[in-house]
Structure formats: C-alpha cells, structure tokens
Chain A
C-alpha cells in the first residue's frame, strides 16, 4: 500500500476516534469503549496469528495478568497509574517470554493448546490465591485521574484511550510493513526458504509472541480502570474465544482488520444480548456465544481472510479493470555481456576453500543415503554435483545447506562448522540456496520476495519500527539494492507483480535474485535448469558465469548432465551415497564408473566399447562425443 494512502487511513481513523463520542449516544459510546479495550488485545492476537502463523488460545491469560498486576499495584501499593501500567505490560510480556521459550519450538497446534491451558492455569491460580483476592478478585480500582480531572464518563474514557489505540495501531502497522513483518510473512509462506535467507524463525516468532502478549496486558490495564474490578473470569476461555473471533473476522495479520473486527464483535455481542432474550424469553447467561461460535465457524469456512481480505479483493478487482495491460515480459539483460557481477571487496580470493565437506554420512532408518562423502568448493568456481536418481544428491545438498542434519561427518563454511545448525547460521556466513520445488513467498510481490533476501543486511527490529525515521532510511537502501538485483537477473519489469502470478521459469529467477540479494559468497542451486526453456537456460548459464567471475562460489545440483558438464569447473558424481568421481568435466565424462552408474549396469558388467549391448555402446559413444 502506497505511503500516501496509508496516511489518509490514519487521518480518517484519528478523525473518527475524536468525533465518535461527540455524535454517538451514551450507550453506543459505552460499546465503543469496550471495542477499544478488547480491540487492543485482538490487535496483538491478529499480529501473532497473521505474522507468526501461531494461534494463541489464551490471549485472555495475558489480558488477566495485565489487569491483575495493574489492579494490585494501584490499589494495594498506591503506585501511580502510568508507572503501574508499564510494569503490568512488562509482566505480561515476561510471562509470554517464559511460556514462549519452551513452547514456541513446538508445532503450531501444540502451542495453540498449550496457550489454552495457560488460560485455565491463570484462572485457577487467580481463584485459589488469597493474595489475588480469590474469587472476588481485586476491586475498588479508581477511574483514571490526570491533572485533577477524573475520566469517568464513557466519552471521557474513550478520548483517553483513543490515543493509546491510535499509537498501538501505528506501531503494529510499522511492524507489519517493516523488516520484521516482512521476514515473518516470508516464514509463513515458506519457513525453510526464510531460514535459508537468514531469518531466525524461532527468535522472530518469540518476539511477536511477546509483543502480542504486551498488547493483551495493555488491554487488561485499560479494562481494570474502566470496570474497577478484576476477578478470575478475566482469564476465562470465552473471552479468549471472543478475541480470536475479532482477529479472525477482521482478517489475520491485518492491523485495520483487527480494529474493525473488534468493533463488529462488540456490536454483535450487544445486539445478541438484546435480541436473544426477546426471541427466547427464558434464555439466560452467555447465550450470545451461539452467535460467536457460528460467526467464527462461518468466517473460517467462507471468508478465511476476514473482512480485510474481502476489502482487498474488491480493491484489486477495481484496480485491474482500470489498469493498463502489462508490458510484455522479457529479459532486459544484455545478452552478450560477460562482465563480472556482484563482487565484494571482502570476499575471499579465488581459489580459497569456502566449503569443506568431510566424511558426510546420513541414515534414514535402516537405509544409508550417504556413506562418507567428502569434497570442497573454492571461491570463484562453479562446482557441479550430479548422479542418478536415488544417488543421494538431494540429501547431500540439504545437509550442506543446513536444512538437514548429518548422521556423521562435518560441513565447514570458511572453517566454521555449520552441520546440524539451522540454515540461518549458514546465511549469516554468506551461504544460501534455491529450491528444486520452488519456495516462492506467494503472499507478496517479486520485489517483496527479493527484499527478504536483504534481511541480514538490515538491522531494524521491533523497537525501530516504533521510531519511523531510522527504519525508513534503511528501507530506501533496501529498495535500491532490490532494484539493482532485479535488473541484473532480468525481471525488473515484473517487480510489482505478485510473485505467484509469474511463469515457472521466471519464478525460478525470482528465487535466484532473492538469494543473490543476500550477497552470498557461496550460492547453492538446486536444479535451477529444470523447467526452463532453451533460451532461459542460456541466460542463466551466462549469469552464473558472470557471478563466478565476480568471485562467487556456486554449487549446482542438476539432472541435466550436459548443462553441468558445459558450465562447471569441477564435477562430483554421486552414486548410491558414495562419491565415485571428482574432477574436471572432461575427466568425468569419460570415467567408466560414471557411465556405468547412469546406465544402471550390474556390478559384473564391464563397460567396453566392444561390448555387445547396443545400449551401452550407444551411451558410451554419446558421452564420448558429446
């Protein structure tokens, strides 16, 4: 979304917030207060679910922690409201840190249920603790008082809370649009690709989890000053469900969506409480939950992207109708240029060993996929890794790129061991990869994809997101690098198109551009030629040669033997988990063991030009003359 349009959105929001208590009747403003309070918690939840793809079914627990802490500090210890608020929010975030550290390593649905349990644990703890007031809880919390004025009417409280909400939304929006949000979006689309580009998924998820809990705690602080009381029900499950509905209805990960969702749900709540007793006279208790349950199920089934998604689709449809047809896509790369590219002053000199693989072993259950593979790759060379199906190339490649851990042996990047460590460690050491089964970040544009590649070249974290200016300068620098790389690879014309819309071959180029954005010294390419047309293959080969000339080391895994033999400086051949040949292409081409491996000959067969078998003869002739 263009910056200009965003500012309009915020301005409108500010105006609405200010005008609302002036135009609406008291009872409606009352609902509005609840919408603000719960909306802050829902905003945090939406951030977590949308950005980190994690479900927190216990947001009410952090809400309650914030509420109880604030209540305690203000009533029992006479702490000033703002100070207590900071402590209360910090407490909620601390709780999230403690819970998140062990739990965020789990698969998503386990986290969801663990957080659900957290809500129940908090409820029970609050009920059982006399210190916390047991079932009565803490009461007598005064309405806020600043500068001698008491903010106790709905309108006054609303105006007090409005700037808080505004800042909360602003901050959230900056997180979403910035480096962290981009990385998390990438993780959501393809965790492995994001890791290989340097995103420390665990740390990022933990950060968002803690942030989201902070929002929950802040909402609790507001709640306690409005209601004046907090009891164990503040952590109860239906409240967590209500937050979930707000986030889902609005659209996960959408900042504005959460706000709209909160308003919608509060009005739905009020409406149902009104309507149901009129339809069914004896109805009592929390019957409006029917509405919540139906709404939650219906939204997930029919409008999974929430209201925000509906809005976005409508806008896109309008834009498409008025858009000019896209310029014919074509390579903008000078097809004769062979000059070196992307060299780096700090890069190791050509010939230096960058990657050192020793005695690599990998078992899968009873099967040995790799049995002692060793080789090294040097700066300024293209290294090919070939072998028949089932030879172990993919396994080897995955271990070298950090996606898989070996059962034995070691992988060293410039002396640092990276085997068994997460891929972002390799990325930090300037080694990255592309994927045979494309791992495009489908939720963003081509530009967005390549920008993720710059993740490690930026430093803006959550805190900087709040302070807009420093992050902006960094973003501009990132945008410039992205443009350069797009032009280099030849996809600059598609920069603002959704990456998922591109043809297969161009998506391949996007992945390569993305990897190059990291400024790697070692580039690992997993079957880059597959699915490319003849012309596209030639262009790619040319690009690779230019990168090599700039001092990069490139490892190619390929089934297209001819392409590898033509391009590589050295080639390693795997068969049955063992290295059967390693050397220059023309050496490997004539190696009898290699020929035998590709043709699937029996061990006792001899490969001989005079052999009877016409297949063997023909194949040997081919490899010879090719």
Chain B
C-alpha cells in the first residue's frame, strides 16, 4: 500500500511537470493551430539558465526568474522570427519548423552546458514521511505550483477580456479581426504564455529530474501526449492529461518494468489517437451552428 502511495505521489509530481508543458502546447495550438515542438526545450533551457545563475551567486528565486524570463524572450522571438513570417502555416509545417528550431536549441545547450545533467538547488522545505510514504518536499512544491499556475491560467482565459479575446481568435479568427482583435498579436501572446509555462516547469523540475541538453525531448513529447489526451485545445484538459499521464507512467514503471517508462506515453498516444482523436478528457464545447 505504501508502494502504491509512493508511486502515486511520484506520478502526480512528474505529472504536474507534464501538465505545465502540456498547457503550453494547448495555449499555442488553440490560438493558431501551431504545434510547437520546442516546448520541451523551454523547460530544459530554463533549468540550465537557472542553474548557471545560481552557480554564479544569484539567490535561488532570482536565478529561477532569470531562467523563466530567458525562455519567455526566446518564445516571443521564435514566434516573431520564425512562425509569423510564414504565409500559409499549416500544423504539419509548424511541426517541421519547430523541429528544426528545437534541434538547433538542443545542440546549442549541449555546446554551452555540455552533456551532463545537473540539478538546481531544491526549493526550501523538509522531506518527511507520512503513512509510510516518503514525501519529498520538492514533490509538494511541484504539485502546488502547477495547481496554482493552472488555476491562474484558467482564470486568465475564462475571466479576463484578454483571455477571452485569445479564445475568440481560436474559435473564429475572421470575426475576431472584424472586432479589432489582432490575431497576429494573439499568436505572439500565446507563445509568451507557453514560454512562461515551460519555464516554470523547467525550474520546478530541475531539482528532482535534472536538466540536460536533451531532457527537453522526452518532456516535450510527453507534454504533447498529455495535451492530446485533453483534446489539444483545452487548457484544463491538458492539465488533467498531464496528471493522468504522470500517474500511469509511474505505475507502469513501478509495477511492470522501469525501462518501459518512456514508452508508456507513446503507447497511450497511439491508443488515444486511434480510439478518440478528439481527446479523452475534453469538456463538451457548445455545438457550432
């Protein structure tokens, strides 16, 4: 029973990281139909920048902030320089484009930081044991922050005019433009949000899961799987998808075979795509007439 509890907690924790990355995918895809494969690299880069800053004497919160800001700026630059200029963007094209960028990013990180993985200093807190389950405080931090962030993002999209304007661009770009909403700027903002989410994920994950030049690959792909579980356009779905994926992965690794951990996400992806391409967890949206 404690095993189960342990696995669940670990699963929820990594799931929180997946959830943040997944929400970043959904944020961009919902507004512009772009599938941004650099999402994982955002997390990796934020972690590495934070580690370097921290190593150079910056206090932890500042280092983390620096990492996140770097990634947000990068995300905006990618949208401006690479995505926006393309006249006829299709999702397929965006995959290849962002694939190229992510490959270059990975290799750049390899160049700057070398091949080994490093960990950021953990956020303050004591580990403890409850009901036989060893609870690392970082797990609680990850879970807590990702829930808070998810709530904040949800609030943004559902209660602020700007968030609603972004949703409008996704649902009906022509009408949005006629109302004076700039769809181009909406795309830029959505990339910024994705960068923010990826950066937070990276900084949170680093102490436990380590940041390395290639940690973005698995993270990004799993984040994408989680977003697909939620329907790709739903922020809430992406969040739930992340948690579910994390837990399933943890259980499979614990009870069946640790080596299969990375394959779980993709088996899940293929099953979901074949069975329910619109996502398993997505809320019913009002029918369009």
Contacts and interface: CB of A to CB of B under 8 A. Distances in A.
Question: Do any CB atoms of chain A lie under 8 A from CB atoms of chain B in the complex?
Answer: yes
Interface of A: 53, 55, 57, 102-103, 106-110, 112-114, 116-118, 120-121, 124-125, 127-128, 237-238, 241, 244, 248, 280, 282-298, 300-301, 364-367
Nearest to B81: A301
Interface in B59-106: 82, 85-86, 90-93, 95-97, 99-106
Contacts of B105: 293
Interface centre among B101, B105, B111 (most CB of A within 10 A): B111
**SS of A interface (majority):** helix
B147 interface: no
A289 B106 contact: yes
Given A103-B274, A117-B266, A289-B103, A109 B91 contact: yes
A366 B287 contact: yes
A244 B96 contact: yes
B4 to A, nearest CB: 23
A297 B107 contact: no
B273 A110 contact: yes
Contacts of A125: 263
Interface stretch (B126-134, B182-190, B254-262): B254-262
B95 A241 contact: no
B82 A113 contact: no
Given A300-B97, A366-B289, A289 B104 contact: yes
Given A120-B262, A290-B111, A301-B85, 10 more contacts: A102-B274, A107-B277, A117-B265, A121-B266, A290-B104, A292-B103, A292-B107, A293-B101, A300-B93, A300-B96
Given A124-B259, A124-B263, A294 B104 contact: yes
Contact of A288 (B107, B115, B262): B107
B262 A124 contact: yes
Nearest to B115: A285
B150 interface: no
A55 B98 CA distance: 14
B110 A293 contact: no
Contact of A112 (B95, B104, B107): B95
Interface centre among A103, A117, A118 (most CB of B within 10 A): A117
Interface centre among B91, B260, B263 (most CB of A within 10 A): B263
A295 B97 CA distance: 10
B14 to A, nearest CB: 17
B114 A282 contact: yes
B288 interface: yes
Contact of B224 (A113, A298, A301): A113
B99 A244 contact: yes
B107 A287 contact: yes
Given A102-B274, A120-B221, A241-B103, A296 B96 contact: yes
A297 B100 contact: yes
B112 to A, nearest CB: 10
B270 interface: yes
B289 A114 contact: no
B35 interface: yes
Nearest to B85: A301
Interface in B235-289: 257, 259-260, 262-263, 265-267, 269-270, 273-274, 277, 287-289
Contacts of A121: 263, 266-267
Name the 5 nearest CB pairs between A and B, nearest first.
A293-B104, A117-B266, A293-B103, A296-B100, A297-B100
11 contacts: A57-B99, A103-B270, A108-B91, A109-B91, A113-B35, A113-B95, A114-B273, A124-B262, A280-B111, A284-B115, A293-B100
B110 A296 contact: no
A611 B80 CA distance: 63
B217 interface: yes
B92 A55 contact: yes
A128 B260 contact: yes
**SS of B interface (majority):** helix
A297 B103 CA distance: 10
A294 B289 contact: no
A287 B111 contact: yes
Contacts of B265: 117
Contacts of A55: 92, 95-96
A114 B265 CA distance: 11
B108 interface: yes
A107 B115 CA distance: 36
B24 to A, nearest CB: 16
Nearest to B261: A124
Interface in B112-155: 114-115
Given A287-B111, A296-B99, A113 B269 contact: yes
Contact of B97 (A114, A128, A297, A365): A297
Contact of A117 (B82, B91, B259, B269): B269
B69 to A, nearest CB: 23
A249 B90 CA distance: 19
A106 B82 CA distance: 27
B10 to A, nearest CB: 19
A106 B269 CA distance: 13
B107 A289 contact: yes
A151 B114 CA distance: 39
A128 B259 contact: yes
A551 B283 CA distance: 54
Contacts of B100: 292-298, 300
A293 B106 contact: yes
Given A244-B99, A296-B96, A365-B289, A118 B266 contact: yes
B18 to A, nearest CB: 15
Interface centre among A108, A118, A120, A298 (most CB of B within 10 A): A120
B104 to A, nearest CB: 3
Contacts of A116: 221
Given A121-B267, A285-B115, A290-B111, A109 B289 contact: no
A283 B225 CA distance: 33
A108 B273 CA distance: 12
Given A237-B217, A280-B111, A365-B289, A297 B82 contact: yes
A74 B231 CA distance: 45
B92 A109 contact: yes
A110 B82 contact: no
Contact of B92 (A112, A127, A238, A282): A112
A128 B257 CA distance: 9
B228 to A, nearest CB: 8
A291 B110 CA distance: 13
A487 B91 CA distance: 41
A117 B267 CA distance: 8
B282 to A, nearest CB: 15
A254 B104 CA distance: 26
Given A102-B274, A114-B273, A120-B266, A286 B110 contact: yes
Given A109-B91, A287-B110, A301-B82, A117 B270 contact: yes
Nearest to A99: B270
Nearest to A134: B259
A54 to B, nearest CB: 8
A283 B111 contact: yes
Given A118-B266, A237-B217, A106 B277 contact: yes
